């Protein structure tokens, strides 16, 4: 049902470097690229994660209670992606671990403060 999600950035070049390196671990690549933003996915027509400089010209800020969760495919990939996010300058919001009910997740904030989760069921 989700086509795309966008998060705001105040530094598109920094965000591009962070997400290019991080999402390459998931075999995601840029599927669109403009002067205001970039979208990553596995292919056109599939869900996309985008980073945009806000259209209204105001500074981007993370939403309170807003989070994007990305399927990682395995517990090992959750661990790898979380470690990679931190190595690239993200901050820890919850180390990888079992959260109950077969849900294994790890939480972090990107350099703009946006909260994300990598997760795996099973």
Domains along the sequence of the chain with CATH: 4-55+66-121 (3.10.180.10)
What are the tens digits of pLDDT across the range 18-41? 999 999 999 999 999 999 999 999
CA end-to-end distance (rounded Å), the chain: 22
pLDDT-based confidence at 64, cuts 50/70/90? confident
The greatest distance separating any two alpha carbons of the chain, rounded to the nearest whole angstrom, comes to 43
Contact status, residue 51 vs residue 12, Cβ threshold 8 Å:
yes
Q: Is 34 exposed, middle or buried (0-12, 13-18, 19+ CB in 10 A)?
A: exposed
Strands, E assignment, the chain: 4-8, 29-33, 37-41, 48-52, 68-71, 91-100, 103-109, 115-121
Residue-level pLDDT at 44: 86
Question: Model's pTM, two decimal places?
Answer: 0.92
Per-residue pLDDT at 14 exceeds 90: yes
Q: d(Cα 115, Cα 99) in Å, to the nearest integer? A: 17
The predicted pLDDT at position 74 comes to: 97
């Amino acid at each position: 049902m989700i086509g795309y999600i966008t998060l705001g950035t105040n530094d598109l070049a920094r965000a591009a470097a962070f997400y290019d390196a991080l999402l390459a671990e998931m075999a995601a690549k840029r599927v669109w690229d403009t002067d205001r933003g970039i979208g990553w996915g596995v292919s056109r027509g599939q869900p996309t994660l985008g980073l945009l400089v806000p259209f209204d010209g105001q500074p981007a800020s993370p939403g309170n209670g807003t989070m994007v969760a990305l399927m990682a495919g395995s517990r090992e990939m959750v661990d790898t992606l979380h470690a990679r996010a931190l190595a690239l300058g993200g901050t820890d919001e919850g180390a990888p671990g079992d959260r109950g009910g077969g849900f294994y997740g790890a939480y972090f904030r990107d350099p703009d403060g946006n909260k994300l989760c990598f997760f795996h069921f099973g």
